[in-house]
Structure 1
Amino acid sequence: MTEISTILNGHRGRSEDSRLPSLLIATRHGESTANVEFRHADASGALTVPITSRDADIPLSMRGQAQAQALGRWWAALPAADRPRSVWSSPYLRTTETTRIALAQASGLGAVPVNLPIRYDERLRDRELGILEMLTKAAIEKEHPAEAVRRRRMGELHYRPPGGESWLDVALRMRSLLRDLAEEEDGRPVLVVAHDCTVLMLRYILDRLTEPQLLALEPVRNCSASLWRADRGRLAPEGWNATEHLG
Structure 2
Amino acid sequence: MSELEWLAMARHGESIGNVAWRTAEAGRREEIDIGLRDPDVPLSDTGRRQAKALGRWLAAMPPDERPTVVYSSPYVRAAETARIALAEIGDLPIRLDERLRDRENGVLYALTWRGIAARFPDEMARKRLTGKFYYRPPGGESWADVALRLRSALSDIQRDHPGGRVLVVAHDAVVVLTRYIVERLTEQDVLEIERTLVPNASLTLWARKDGELRLVTSNSTGHLDAADLPV
**TM-score for the superposition, normalised by structure 2:** 0.92
SS across alignment from 1:172? helix
Deviates more, 1:145-154 or 1:193-202: 145-154
After superposition, the C-alpha distances for 1:82-136 in whole angstroms (9 at most, x for unaligned) are: 210111000000011001100112x2xxxxx32x121100000000111111112
C-alpha distance in structure 1 between counterparts of 2:105 and 2:46, whole Å:
25
Match of 1:67 in 2: 50
Please, which of 212, 215, 223 is the counterpart of residue 234 of structure 1?
212
Deviation at 1:234, TM superposition (A): 2.1
Deviates more, 1:86-95 or 1:73-82: 73-82
CA contact (8 A) 1:85 1:117 kept: no
Please, which of 171, 179, 189 is the counterpart of residue 213 of structure 1?
189
Match of 1:199 in 2: 175
C-alpha distance in structure 2 between counterparts of 1:191 and 1:33, whole Å:
24
C-alpha distance in structure 1 between counterparts of 2:198 and 2:131, whole Å:
18
C-alpha distance in structure 2 between counterparts of 1:245 and 1:98, whole Å:
14
Match of 2:83 in 1: 100
CA contact (8 A) 1:228 1:235 kept: yes
Alignment RMSD, CA only?
1.3
Match of 2:72 in 1: 89
After superposition, the C-alpha distances for 1:51-75 in whole angstroms (9 at most, x for unaligned) are: 1111000000111101101100111
When residues 122 and 207 of structure 1 are mapped into structure 2, their CA distance, relative to the original with a 3 A threshold, is same
Match of 2:229 in 1: none
Please, which of 17, 22, 29 is the counterpart of residue 12 of structure 2?
29
Gaps of at least 5 residues in structure 2 are 226-231
Deviation at 1:178, TM superposition (A): 1.1
Deviates more, 1:27-36 or 1:155-164: 155-164
Deviates more, 1:203-212 or 1:87-96: 203-212
Gaps of at least 5 residues in structure 1 are 1-7, 9-16, 108-112
**Quick check: 1:136 aligned with 2:112?**
yes
Match of 1:160 in 2: 136
Deviation at 1:174, TM superposition (A): 1.1
How does 1:110-125 map onto structure 2 within 5 Å? 113-114=90-91, 116-125=92-101
State percent identity of aligned pairs. 50
Match of 2:222 in 1: 244
CA contact (8 A) 2:24 2:33 kept: no
**Quick check: 1:46 aligned with 2:29?**
yes
Match of 1:12 in 2: none
**TM-score for the superposition, normalised by structure 1:** 0.86
> When the two structures are aligned, how many residues end up with a matched partner?
223
